[in-house]
Structure 1
Amino acid sequence: MSIWTKIFGNSQPVEAKDIGLASPELLTLFGGLPTSSGIVIGEASAAREPTAGSAIRLLAGVLATTKVHLYQRGEDGERARADSHPAEKLVANFSNSWTPAPDLRRAMMCEAVNHGVAYALVSKVRGSPRELIQLPRSAVTRTTDDATGEPSFSVSLKGGGTRRYAFSDILEIRPWGGRSLTGDGADAIARALTLADHAAKLFRNGAKPSGILKIPGRLNELAAKRISDAWTSSFGGENSGRTAVIEEGGSFEQITMSAVDAEYSASMTAAQEDVARCYGVPLTLLNHLEHATWKNPEQLALQFLQYSMLPVFESWQGALARCLLTPEERENYFFEFDLNGFAKADLATRAAAYSTLITARVLNPNEVRAKENMPGYGPAGDEYANPAISPGPAGSASEAADDGE
């Protein structure tokens, strides 16, 4: 039995081509990409690097926790939630019987960040979507028609063989055009891991001398080794910090932080910045607050939403519409991520915005209460009125004047 049979079962390969032992395709298959530092970076090693791991969790977490719903456009231009459509249940509740929709989005987003693409099978009954089931990336082969450019997919089956699916039957997530953020940032991640590994080895056993032990007189090699071993066993590693008693005129001189130490710290910060830059995440969102002020984290968070996450949301919305809606349904139905939750952390800003929108008669009070998951307070809340110049629901200005007479 060949190694390929052991990995993929008895299925026949869809495409055969020669690859060398140093080919990035082969290294990617076994979970990593080569870097100039010699470290192979894959999904596991990237997650182990603190900055990269935090960035991956943040991107996947934001995508998973941002609610997405299916909406229908009315003839008057207004939109309403399409709660009765089967696709709404798949994106808002459970993608299948055992997977909540946020969990599926999180898993597929992690796959897309690390490998550039993620797949899920759309199980349909008489053309209507019923389940979304994530597929192993390695089991899916994407092919494109030379004449039309239309994609199709071949999926390797566990029992052997393959099955071909149309583009409307496979949810394909390619937020960055199929490019892997982890792969593109492999050198930066490897550099950060190398620096961290160097620091760990340096301080693991107290290998870096914190000071110099001075002994008067001349020591032969045996005496110097005996004194060094005795000092290390007594005050090195876990015993660091114990009180030392030095006899025979000996002394201990502590070594202060050198320029090399300062340079290492700067190099580590630069490596972390490079990693964060590869994932498009501000360092302040990864708990690196060295340059944070009272205002800039909020602005950086908005920048992250606008420039890093909005393209991802748009990609997901298009992919969901492609495989969960028919061409006819796409005329009046659309998916949309609810971004109102990003502003809910700042109550004062949210209240001021709502007040301005009500005053300008862009929203009515009941619409505002719906955004806050609160019930409306009656027909009066459906009116588009400026509360600064309009009477309240209790009565009109003329009624108040009549009462005064």
Structure 2
Amino acid sequence: MRIWPFKSERKALTDEEILDMLGGSVGTSSGIAVSADTALRVPAVAAAVRTISEAAACLDVKVVEIDGRTETEVPDHPAAALLKHDANDWTSGFELIRQLVVDALTRDQGGLAWANWINGEPAEIIRYRPGIIAAEYDKDGTGEPSYRINGRPTPSQQIIHLKSTFEKSPLTLCREAIGVALVMEKHAGRLFGRGARPGGVIETAKSVGDDGVVKMLKGWKAAHDGADNAGRTAVLWDGAQWKQMTLTSVDAQFQQLRLFQLQEIARAFNMPASMLGDLSRATWSNSAEMQRQFLMLCLEPWLKALESAFRRALFSKEDRKRFAVRFDRDDFTNVDLTARATAINSLVASRVLNPNEGRAWLDMPPYEGGNEFANPNTGASQPGGVPKPGETPSGTDAATIDELRAEIERLKNGSE
């Protein structure tokens, strides 16, 4: 499928665009230049970006038609096929959503993609590499964006733009914390590369000269540097003595400092630290609450932003009043079958749902009589249960009722 049927007009790139294309490398107080690529080398950052983006992409997405308070799925809508199956010939809907969220988490421009409309319908969605789609904002204060693809003006109605809070990505806002984490990674690498031991000094009773110092250090490194040489017995000569340096408070608290940086990065992405592997404060009782906070406070805003971004680009102005994109949040409860079954049973018992609606939550087919709202936990409310005066039990024919009444009369006459 042809993506761009006309020649592009290039313009001079802004400093921010050039920086973004070069990886967005910015120096920090720690002396480490942090870019999107280098930041993802920090396990906590990579875990945060993967957790948010893949959790959003794993949810079932659908197009619904809105009628008052009722929303009905429209599976044959062109936009539904692009989001659920293939966004284009080489990108699946899962990959598109995941990459849009990754871009919004790591780049200030946000996640950008172009919706190609053919014959009045969205035919494909193209996510270009960073720097190809440029967003410019109205300088009069309205904040209205205008877009260019390779310098060519493009209608904003065809652009999917997923923006982060504060118009800055979480990665940009926590560059300093990421820089400190990178410094600690390097320090740990050097520490374990030198035998996982602190440094020390070799004291000699007499002067050995410059050549003697060089030879001594060369022999010492050859014998003791590196993890493979850790624990080997040191041999000194000419009355030399080894004096080990004591650990400083920073060295002693190195592990706690690394854990604190993980928590700082988790705060920047607005997610519980337990989602990044910090289980020091996690228990059986609060783990479920932390997961709920992740869904409500971290992932839900991104899902809302995705729904709005897709709605602007995949529906015409008239269709936006009728159609919308929805992510199915119920998928999060699939992993806990016990909690899901308890919730369905409670809703059916309170007559909020009927049994067939509860079965639909489990992707099971309906059964006959399952559309009746009844409490299965009380006999009088069950279908076919004890009828009220003047009512006919469901599933009972008239002949059977006459026989029951005759038997009751016979018993009454016999007792008299």
Q: TM-score range by the shorter chain?
A: 0.7 to 0.9
2:102 match: 110
Q: Distance in 2 between matches of 1:344 and 1:294?
A: 19
**Residues 239 and 315 of structure 1: CA distance in aligned 2, closer, same or farther (over 3 Å):** closer
Is residue 91 from structure 1 mapped to residue 83 from structure 2 by the alignment?
Answer: yes
Q: Pairwise mapping of residues 227-306 of structure 1 onto structure 2 (< 5 A)? A: 230=219, 232-241=221-230, 244=233, 259-306=249-296
2:330 match: 340
Aligned amino acid, residue 185 of structure 1: C
2:146 match: 152
2:116 match: 123
Aligned amino acid, residue 106 of structure 1: R
Q: Pairwise mapping of residues 5-404 of structure 1 onto structure 2 (< 5 A)? A: 12-14=9-11, 26-31=18-23, 32-74=25-67, 77-116=69-108, 117-144=110-137, 150-156=144-150, 162-176=151-165, 178-206=167-195, 208-209=197-198, 218=205, 220-221=207-208, 230=219, 232-241=221-230, 244=233, 259-376=249-366, 378-389=367-378, 390-393=380-383, 395-398=384-387, 399=393
Q: Distance in 1 between matches of 2:147 and 2:92?
A: 25
What is the RMSD computed on CA atoms of the aligned residues?
A: 3.2
Retained in 2: the 8 A contact 1:66–1:341? yes
Question: Residue 122 of structure 1: SS of its match in structure 2?
Answer: strand
Question: Residue 73 of structure 1: SS of its match in structure 2?
Answer: strand
**Residues 177 and 313 of structure 1: CA distance in aligned 2, closer, same or farther (over 3 Å):** farther
Q: Distance in 2 between matches of 1:195 and 1:228?
A: 26
Retained in 2: the 8 A contact 1:121–1:170? yes
**Residues 225 and 66 of structure 1: CA distance in aligned 2, closer, same or farther (over 3 Å):** same
1:7 match: none
Q: Distance in 2 between matches of 1:276 and 1:363?
A: 38
**Residues 224 and 132 of structure 1: CA distance in aligned 2, closer, same or farther (over 3 Å):** closer
Structure 1 residue 235: deviation in Å? 4.0
**Residues 25 and 327 of structure 1: CA distance in aligned 2, closer, same or farther (over 3 Å):** closer
Retained in 2: the 8 A contact 1:118–1:173? yes
**Residues 119 and 192 of structure 1: CA distance in aligned 2, closer, same or farther (over 3 Å):** same
Question: Residue 353 of structure 2: SS of its match in structure 1?
Answer: coil
Question: Residue 164 of structure 1: SS of its match in structure 2?
Answer: strand
Q: Distance in 2 between matches of 1:120 and 1:350?
A: 36
**Residues 166 and 208 of structure 1: CA distance in aligned 2, closer, same or farther (over 3 Å):** same
Q: Distance in 2 between matches of 1:243 and 1:91?
A: 60
Deviation per residue, 1:298-329 (Å, 9 max, x gap): 21111111111111111111111111112222
Retained in 2: the 8 A contact 1:51–1:286? yes
**Residues 16 and 103 of structure 1: CA distance in aligned 2, closer, same or farther (over 3 Å):** closer
Structure 1 residue 112: deviation in Å? 1.1
Q: Distance in 2 between matches of 1:45 and 1:152?
A: 30
Aligned amino acid, residue 148 of structure 2: S
Structure 1 residue 123: deviation in Å? 1.2
Q: Distance in 1 between matches of 2:154 and 2:17?
A: 24
Structure 1 residue 232: deviation in Å? 4.3
Deviation per residue, 1:9-65 (Å, 9 max, x gap): x96544676x5xxxx665334212222222221111011011111111111111111
Question: Residue 397 of structure 1: SS of its match in structure 2?
Answer: coil
Aligned amino acid, residue 205 of structure 1: R
**Residues 194 and 211 of structure 1: CA distance in aligned 2, closer, same or farther (over 3 Å):** closer
Aligned amino acid, residue 83 of structure 1: P
Q: Distance in 2 between matches of 1:61 and 1:16?
A: 32
Retained in 1: the 8 A contact 2:20–2:131? no
1:6 match: none
Q: How many residues align?
A: 381
Structure 1 residue 87: deviation in Å? 1.0
Retained in 2: the 8 A contact 1:151–1:166? no
Question: Residue 290 of structure 1: SS of its match in structure 2?
Answer: coil
**Residues 211 and 344 of structure 1: CA distance in aligned 2, closer, same or farther (over 3 Å):** farther
Aligned amino acid, residue 151 of structure 1: P
- Percent same amino acid at aligned positions? 28
Of stretches 302-311 and 253-262 in structure 1, the one that deviates more from structure 2 is: 253-262
In the alignment, structure 2 segments of 5+ residues that lack a partner are 1-6, 388-392, 409-416
Aligned amino acid, residue 147 of structure 2: F
Structure 1 residue 330: deviation in Å? 2.0
